[in-house]
Amino acid sequence: MALPYDLILLASIVFAVTFSLTYLLTLTLVKTLPKRGSVVEDYHKPERPKVAWPGGPAILSSIIIVEAILYLIYGDLRILSIALVTMIAGIIGLIDDRWRLSNGMIKPLLLILASLPILLLETYVPYPEFPIFGHVRLTTVYPLLVLLAVPIVSNATNMIDVLNGALSGFIVIATIPLVFALMLKGAYNMMVATLPLIASSIAFYIFHRYPSKIFPGDSGSLALGATFCSIAIVGRVEIVAIISILPAILNSFFILSSIKGFIEHRSIKTRPTILLPDGQLVASKDPSAPTTLVRMILADGPLSEREVVSNIFKLSAFSAFLAVITALVIWCV
Amino acid sequence: MNSRILPLMGIIGLAWALVFLGFYIIFGLIVPFEPFPENDYIFAFLNSLFKVVLSAILALTWIMIMIGLRNLYIKRKLSA
């Protein structure tokens, strides 16, 4: 399929502007946050270095600014929904970063608020497109699923944010199938609206990768998850998104089912991994330790943090590949 | 390819295949299934209820399979 020249130009500008904004804002935060004492320890290194935190404001402000500009260009309420969902989830994340919401249930409940722009602006279509069967009418259930989806996906991305660069890299890989699916559908407005998520994640990854200079905090992880989810819903690529984000969904599902309920991750007493003196990570053999994706990757023996993150990316790439196949089955078969 | 992530890829691949199979069972078998004649509201309601219950059972089965796979993986790899 040939893309129009104007679209390629707009997409390139959107990508470049978001990338530059996130890069510059993150660079500023890396320099200013430590001076204000806003740092946290990196628990996965023997020397426990202090790392600037939270970097979320750089991510969410650049995504919101570019999505707002795109809304002014296209006048498409779906793009406004993405900006509003990102903003609300980011604010909830900032509240959590600042005041530490101690009850594990509060954050998912607050995140329901982030779903509201999609429902109030009526930017959802309750006819999701399934493989083989095409459109399926879910008029009663779909709004309820929208309310649940944002908290579930945001928490899933929050839970995968455990090692240097894991979250930002994962979001980049998981979002590529969405761009592919939207292109396949010919939903070019939405395809362009997806680019800020990728561009912002790549720019942030430069500082977030091993050894991290900044952590996104909940403001970053919740905003990235909420943006991803809102694109999936308003872009009508829900099934592709579910498959693409399977590693994060399975990770949070395995954690929640092993600790039996919603508990704030900071309050989990038994750690799933143990840091060895040489800096390598090893899986905890304590039966009460939560089952996380990282613990499962480490089950065969110790690995460095970089190697674990590389394995997470390989699993994400595999899921992204399955998501691309799913998109082809939905829109080409 | 790193052999340590192959089983995890297997779990993700199986989860994907089961999602596809689940869609087929729900939309290909459960949705068209009308055990009661739809000639009055009670029977129509019972038909819908029946479909919701069957779909919920299917979703629970998916969850149980995933938990079973996780337990098997942890038992084989991490048992002390």
What's the token pair of residue A176? Answer: 């590529």
Confidence check: pLDDT of A2 > 80 = no
DSSP sequence for A286-308: -TTS---HHHHHGGGS-B-HHHH
Closest alpha carbon within chain B to A132: B24
pLDDT band at A132 (very low <50, low <70, confident <90, very high): confident
Q: What pLDDT band is residue A140 in, cutting at 50, 70 and 90?
A: confident
Do residues A321 and A298 make contact, with C-beta atoms less than 8 angstroms apart? no
Of B9, B24, B78, the CB nearest to A299: B78
Indicate yes or no: CB of A318 within 8 angstroms of CB of B9.
Answer: yes
Best of A152, A242, A254 to disrupt the B interface by mutation (most B CBs within 10 Å)? Answer: A254
Residue A97 is classified by DSSP as H
Give the pLDDT confidence of B4-55 residue by residue, as tens digits: 899 999 999 999 999 989 988 988 888 888 877 767 788 888 888 888 899 8
Comparing CB atoms, the residue among A247, A253, A326 nearest residue B12 is A247
Beta bridge partners of B14: none
**Chain B closest-CA separation from residue A135 CA (Å):** 11
- Asked if the C-beta of A138 comes within 8 angstroms of chain B's C-beta atoms, the answer is no
Residues A33, A217 contacting (CB under 8 angstroms):
no
Interface ipTM: 0.89
pLDDT at position A166 is 97
Calculated CA dihedral for residues A276, A278, A281, A287, nearest 10 degrees:
-20
Nearest C-alpha of chain B: how many angstroms from A285? 6
Kindly list the residues from chain A whose CB atom is less than 8 angstroms away from the CB atom of residue B80.
285
